[in-house]
Amino acid sequence: QVQLQESGPGLVDPSQTLSLTCTVSGGSMLSGDHYWTWIRHHPDKGLEWIGYIKASGSAYYNPSLRSRVTLSADPSKSQFSLNVHSVTAADTAIYYCARDGAFCTGDCQEDAFDIWGQGSLVTVTS
C-alpha cells in the first residue's frame, strides 16, 4: 500500500525559500498516471491546493501561488518536492503531500485525494 511522508525544515526565515520533500513508499511513482500533490492547511483557515506534478515532470500550479512555487519530481528516488520562494508569515502552515485517487471519471477538471502524508508544520519566523 502506497504511503507518503513529508520531510524538511520546520522553521524558515522570511524572504527565504521553503523546501519540502515527499517520499513515496510501498509503490512506484511511475505506476498509474497519478498527480503527486501538495496541499497546505493554514492555522484557523481552510485547506489550500498548491499544485501537483506528474512523474513525467509536468506540473500544474494554483494561480494564486504560481509565481512563487516550484515543483519537481525524481521517480528514481521515489520523491517529489516543493519549493515556495520569498516566504512570509502567511506561508506558515501544515504542508501535506497527497496522491489523487483517479475519481474524476467525467466532466471534472481535478480530482480527490485518497492518500496523504501526515503533514509537516512549517513556521515562517525570524
Point out which residues bind other proteins (CB under 8 A).
Answer: 4, 41, 45-49, 62-64, 96, 98, 101, 103-119
Query: CA separation (Å) from 4 to 1, 21, 39, 43, 63?
Result: 10, 10, 13, 22, 25
Residues 96/41, Cβ–Cβ less than 8 Å: yes
Q: Smaller CB distance to other proteins: residue 29 or 50?
A: 50
Q: Smaller CB distance to other proteins: residue 15 or 64?
A: 64
Q: How far is the CB of 31 from other proteins (least distance, A)?
A: 18
Q: Smaller CB distance to other proteins: residue 13 or 114?
A: 114
- Give the separation between CA 63 and CA 43, rounded to whole angstroms: 21
- Using CB atoms within 10 A of its CB, is residue 117 exposed (0-12), middle (13-18) or buried (19+)? buried
- Give the separation between CA 21 and CA 5, rounded to whole angstroms: 8
Q: Smaller CB distance to other proteins: residue 85 or 111?
A: 111
- The cell 496523504 sits on which residue? 116
Q: How far is the CB of 66 from other proteins (least distance, A)?
A: 10
